């Protein structure tokens, strides 16, 4: 095996040369920064103004089309019976219509001549007779209905360009005290003998007894205009107990009825439908051959029915 020789220190001359070279080199490095040319400063960097970013495009989101639904057949709305309302509230609402709403129409009239007819009366299961006595006298009139079944009503007033203009209406059912309505045309109000209430009095107003004769006058004045099915005649009609309503009469088709003294006639029917349960349903048949005088009348109030028919002339 070959043995390695121990390291020998370099000769002294070599060491001296090495130290001399390192010293010269260090001096050069120490002096270089002072004599080196200055580095030119870095040019200023200006920020470039960039345009604002464009807004992001708006993308409309279109919902998917709804699937068509199957067609559903429309059903007719149910027919409800007349609304049951407290009579006092219903009368107050109807009576306020002329003052709060539009003015009611007035009609040209030609009233029938004097008559005294006796009707067959049917009141529920009971029968009897009732006398209708109409007496026009120039600018005034009297009208009375009396029966042997307790119906006793009277109306008196004036006759003007618009027909009957009641001044006082009295209702006196059998076994009860008389009650009256006073038509105060000087102040445009209706007052009552019982209630302290007063109501506005519109033009053309009628009471619960005068309206059939007023309808006769309207038809006689302009039959070509009013004697057509579907035509409507509107009146404000007041009772004796602060019960005032606006009644709309609709002309119906003529009907064959028994007229004066048993003669068969084709009478024109007019119908007023009730506005609520237990309101009055009024029907009248007018004879064109007798100055449109009423040859049949029927009042229905709830379950109560009062009918006058088959009139007979009473000699004066």
What percentage of the chain exceeds 90 in pLDDT?
Answer: 58
**Who has greater pLDDT, 22 or 143?**
143
- Residue 5 has a pLDDT of 52
**Who has greater pLDDT, 197 or 159?**
159
Which range has highest mean pLDDT (28-37, 100-109, 219-228)? 219-228
Classify residue 118 as exposed, middle or buried by CB count within 10 Å of its CB (0-12, 13-18, 19+): middle
Is the pLDDT at 138 greater than 50, yes or no?
yes
Q: Residue 194's pLDDT band (boundaries 50, 70, 90)?
A: confident
Is the pLDDT at 79 greater than 50, yes or no?
no
> Which tokens is 98 given?
């002329």
- Residue 277 has a pLDDT of 87
Is the pLDDT at 134 greater than 70, yes or no?
yes
Task: Pick the range with the lowest mean pLDDT from 33-37, 103-107, 206-210, 266-270.
Answer: 33-37
Separation CA 202–CA 218 (nearest Å): 17
**In the chain, where the domains are located:** 85-313
Q: What is the pLDDT of residues 290-301, one digit of tens each?
A: 999 999 999 999
What percentage of the chain exceeds 70 in pLDDT?
Answer: 67
Task: Taking residues 167-179, report their average pLDDT.
Answer: 88
Kind plus residue range of the DSSP H or E element containing 131:
strand 126-137
- Residue 8 has a pLDDT of 54
Task: Taking residues 34-62, report their average pLDDT.
Answer: 45
- CB count within 10 Å of CB 161 equals 9
- Residue 177 has a pLDDT of 83
- Give the pTM: 0.70
> Which tokens is 74 given?
């429309």
- Residue 232 has a pLDDT of 98
Task: Taking residues 232-243, report their average pLDDT.
Answer: 94
- Residue 252 has a pLDDT of 98
Beta bridge partners of 159: 164
Contact 155, 165 (CB under 8 A): no
């Amino acid at each position: 095996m070959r043995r390695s020789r121990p390291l020998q220190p370099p000769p002294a001359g070599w060491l001296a040369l090495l130290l001399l070279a390192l010293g010269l080199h260090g001096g050069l490095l120490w002096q270089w920064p002072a004599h080196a040319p200055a580095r030119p400063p870095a040019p200023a960097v200006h920020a470039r103004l960039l345009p604002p970013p464009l807004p992001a495009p708006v993308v409309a989101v279109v919902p998917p089309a709804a699937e068509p639904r199957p067609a559903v057949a429309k059903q007719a709305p149910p027919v409800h019976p007349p609304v049951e309302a407290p009579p006092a509230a219903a009368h107050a609402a109807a009576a306020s219509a002329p003052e709060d709403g539009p003015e009611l129409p007035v009609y040209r009239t030609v009233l029938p001549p004097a008559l005294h007819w006796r009707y067959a009366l049917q009141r529920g299961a009971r029968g009897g007779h009732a006398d209708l006595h109409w007496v026009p006298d120039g600018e005034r009139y009297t009208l009375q209905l009396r029966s042997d079944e307790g119906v006793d009503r009277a109306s008196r007033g004036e006759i003007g360009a618009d027909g009957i203009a009641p001044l006082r209406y009295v209702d006196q059912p059998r076994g009860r005290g008389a009650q009256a309505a006073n038509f105060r045309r000087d102040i445009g109000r209706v007052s009552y003998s019982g209630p302290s209430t007063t109501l506005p009095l519109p033009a053309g107003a009628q009471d619960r007894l005068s309206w059939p004769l007023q309808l006769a006058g309207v038809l006689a004045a302009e039959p070509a205009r009013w004697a057509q099915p579907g035509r409507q005649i509107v009146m404000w009609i007041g009772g004796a107990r602060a019960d005032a309503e606006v009644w709309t009469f609709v002309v119906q088709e003529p009907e064959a009825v028994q007229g004066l003294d048993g003669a068969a006639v084709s009478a024109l029917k007019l119908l007023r439908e009730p506005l609520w349960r237990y309101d009055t349903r009024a029907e009248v048949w007018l004879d064109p051959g007798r100055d449109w005088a009423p040859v049949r009348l029927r009042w229905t109030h709830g379950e109560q029915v009062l009918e006058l028919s088959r009139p007979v002339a009473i000699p004066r």
